Amino acid sequence: MNETRTYNFLKMHGLGNDFVIFDTRTHDLHLSDDQVRMIANRKRGVGFDQLILLRQSEQADVFMEIRNADGSRVEACGNATRCVGQIILDEKALDVVAIETDAGLLSATASPFGISVNMGPANIDWQDIPLASAMDTLNTDFTLGPLTSPVCVNMGNPHAVFFVDHVADIELEAFGPQIEHHPLFPERVNVSIASVKGTEIRQRVWERGVGITEACGTGACAGAVAAMRRGLVKSRTATVTLDGGPLEIEWLSDNTVQMTGSATLAFKGEIDL
């Protein structure tokens, strides 16, 4: 930071899910919700789906703090984890790096297809989503318009996955905010609509605190796990194609979920706060 409060940042994205990343490991930076919303403004700021603050970690190579475009802090973001993994892998010249998040420790490795991240366990108990009351998360007792009986999964943050015949037929921009703020989900929820053919999943995501995004890493993990739990995908691997492109997902035997996809640097910049 200099006397004009100018900070350097990276603009990165994973399949169009975009991030502003500040490296605060050598200088402290704490942003108010208003400042986050200002930077998120795509006309008056930089624009992003999530803002990332890299901080020192005592138990990993880096700590990743995640803020949504509305200023709220969230536990996990799969696409951002790949981007941060790319940064730290390049910086430290390691084969694998550990990334601490509010959801726990994650690991990232380079692969021929981009960056692979182990996103941790798929939690499926109603308390872990969390839901407001006890119910079967494989067929959650919830209906709104054409969307009914979602599979709920927590992949570091809560997801409700609705399976439909054709995702293009669903007005996600109308149903997403209603479901996100429904009392059934006390910590709000990310909303997915998905259709399945073989091991191919077509999915769209409404992210809590953001809206519709071109890609959602934890959402892709949740969608694959949900399809496998429901028996719609017969294997432990699937390709999840979001609006921004595909992610390869594997639900491992230890209940953790491996995600592989691209991480792209768009540009470097600086902003006066």
Instruction: Please name the residues in contact with 65: beta carbons below 8 A apart, sequence gap of 6 or more.
Output: 52, 53, 54, 55, 73, 102
Tell me how far CA of residue 25 lies from CA of 61, 137, 174, 186, in angstroms: 11, 39, 40, 33
Selected catalytic residue, list 77, 83, 152, 221: 77
Question: What's the gap between Cα 235 and its chain centre?
Answer: 23
Selected catalytic residue, list 83, 152, 216, 221: 216
Instruction: Please list the alpha-helical segments (H only) found in 131-255.
Output: 172-180, 217-230
Q: Is 216 a catalytic residue?
A: yes
Provide the greatest CA pair distance for the chain: 58
Q: Is 77 a catalytic residue?
A: yes
Name the residue among 102, 97, 92, 91 with its Cα closest to residue 116.
97
Name the residue among 71, 69, 85 with its Cα closest to residue 12.
85
**Strand partners for 256:** 121
Name the residue among 135, 187, 179 with its Cα closest to residue 161.
179
State both tokens at 18.
Answer: 């975009």
Question: What's the gap between Cα 47 and its chain centre?
Answer: 17
Q: Which residues are catalytic?
A: 77, 216
